[in-house]
Every structure is written in C-alpha cells, then in structure tokens.
Structure 1
Amino acid sequence: MPALARMLISDEEFAGCRATVMDGNPDMAAEMAGRIVEEGLKFVAACSANPGVGLAPSRIVDEGWHALILHTAVYAELCQRLGGAFVHHYPGWDPTNYDPPILDRTREKIGELGWEADPQLWGPPSDETLVSVAAKCQHSPDCTIVITPKPKPGGVV
C-alpha cells in the first residue's frame, strides 16, 4: 500500500471527492474535507483487504465514503485496483446503532495496511465537536460492510 491513502486515486479525483464533501457541508474547510476523503479511502481499502470480516466507518468517515461512491467511475476503478470486489454500501439510519467494537475492528484493519486511522474522525456519532457532517448513516452489526469475494474460476471462493 502507498504511504498515503489519498494516493489510491489521482489528485484530480481526490479534489473532486473533496469538493463533493464540501458541497454537502458548506461550512467545512478544504483541509477537513480532504482528511475525511482520505479516511474514506482507508476504509474502502480495509474492506477490500478483509472480505467477510464485517467493517463499518464512523459517521464522519461515512461522509467521505459517500463522496467516493458518488464519483461512480472513480469508485469502481478504485475497488477494481484494490482487488476487484466491489465494496457495497448498506446504510444504517439509526444513530442509536453505534457499536464501538465495529469501529475498533475497522481501525485495526486499517492499521494492518500500514496506515493510522485518524482518531479525531473515528469517534462516536454524537461526537461532532470537531466537525458536523450531513451524512446521517450509522452502521451497526446489522449493516456492517461484508465483502463477498469474486468466485475463482471453477466456482471456488
């Protein structure tokens, strides 16, 4: 994996995703929007590298993931480069679903890729002291992200 997760996509693609985060959050600084997109990239890479584990982003990081998903060609190419399994989004709309072990597991998997999860952006959904985001998704055990690997030739997974 590259030293910076933001290098998983081109500078132009990164700028476009950052602008999408800023469009949904008009008072957000470009630096913060960039941090959120970078954490979204780390999350997608962790999901791709750990099929079947069940990971979830924090509510703030979900905003960056949403921006990546909205750039459909960029997102599809990213998933392909990371191993081919498309990382689908399963929204969870109930903020009471917050389950810290899911975030702990996700941060651990990000660390195994050589990155550090930004601790300020991986907190509970009620922690909006740093930044408030438009995304209202809150992933939980019922809506964790589980990647199903592509079948290998001959139908073996």
Structure 2
Amino acid sequence: MFTFAPSRRRRGVDPATVERAVRDLQLPQTVFKTCPWEPRELVATGLRQWLRCCGPALADDQVIGMPSRAVDEAWHGFILCTRRYAEFCECAYGRFLHHHPEGAETPTSGHDDMASQLRRTVVAWSLVAEPGEECVLWDLDTRLGLEQPWGIPAWRVAEIEATLQERAHRP
C-alpha cells in the first residue's frame, strides 16, 4: 500500500476546486497501462474518489493510506503522465501531490502505521462524499477479483464512521 503527504505545509485547499478538478479530469488510456483490471470505469471511479480524499488530507497536512491496489496502479499511471498530473495537482490542490511508498518517512508523519493512514482515508471520504454516494475504494480489489486484494473491511469502515458520528454529536 502507498501513502501521500503534502509538499508544502499549511496551504488552503478549496473543496469545491478539488471536486471540479476531479470531475473535469480526463484520464488518458496510458493511466491504465499498468492497471489491467476491468471494468476500467470502476477503477476510474476509485481513482477519482481517491483524488477527492486527497483534498481534505492535504488541507490538514495529513497522510492517508491507499486502500486499493488497482487504484494505486492507476494513480502510478497518472503520475507517469507528468505534465498532465502536475497540472491536475496545481488545479485541484494548488500544489503537487507527492507519492510516498509505504514505510517511507513522510515530511509530516515520520513512520506512521498503515492502520492509522487508512483510518484517515475513511475520515477524508466522510468529508467529500455526496449524500448516499457509495465508496468503491474499500472493496474494489475484491470486486475486481485481484489476488491478494487490499482494502478496508466493511466492519472497520462502519466502526470509524460510527466514531465520527459520535464525535459530531458531542457538545
């Protein structure tokens, strides 16, 4: 699994700008060069959801975890389209979204464990999801039939979401 961290500290990230940039993003076929799984539309949905989660994480200088190997491979393909990727990052986040492999020290977190990073991914999703929108990231690899799928068990997602609800209703 892989993570990201911001390239600069404490710069604002506008949620509406991120949403618009992700919605308008045209993914070239080269994005899927190392991501052979079908249907590509489902992988593209996962990648777009991931990129949306990156917005609030960057705004809070947080590192989130990548819950899908298929999305990770598509993200790698996108990163290799260097000009398009850099332009997208500038448009969406106002800065470059760096890639940090699992286990690598990041500028903000040192050596953070993957369980914490994945928890923050669920938190980030709760901030960007439209009402009733299904997140495909949690079980995408299983849906696609990947050997050794990544993901977050449904019970863990529900547990994190319940904690968020409890905290939201505290005085």
Is TM > 0.5 for Structure 1 vs Structure 2? yes
Indicate whether 1:24 and 2:40 are aligned: no
Deviations 1:10-61 (A, max 9, x none): 75x5231xx234322334123223213212322332333222x221221333
Q: 1:3, 1:80 → 2: CA distance?
A: 10
Q: What does residue 57 of structure 1 align with? A: 66
Cα distance, 1:62–1:110 mapped onto 2, change above 3 Å: same
Q: What does residue 116 of structure 2 align with? A: 101
Check whether the contact 1:47–1:55 (CA below 8 A) recurs between aligned residues.
Answer: yes
TM-score (norm 1): 0.58
Q: 2:93, 2:123 → 1: CA distance?
A: 19
Q: Secondary structure at the match of 1:90?
A: strand
Q: Give the RMSD, CA atoms, in angstroms.
A: 3.8
Query: As a proportion of its length, which structure holds more strand?
Result: 2
Show structure 1 runs of 5+ residues with no match. Answer: 139-157
Q: 1:58, 1:37 → 2: CA distance?
A: 11
Q: Secondary structure at the match of 1:88?
A: strand
Check whether the contact 1:49–1:82 (CA below 8 A) recurs between aligned residues.
Answer: no
C-alpha deviation, 1:3, in angstroms: 9.9
Check whether the contact 2:68–2:150 (CA below 8 A) recurs between aligned residues.
Answer: yes
Show structure 2 runs of 5+ residues with no match. Answer: 1-14, 104-111, 152-171
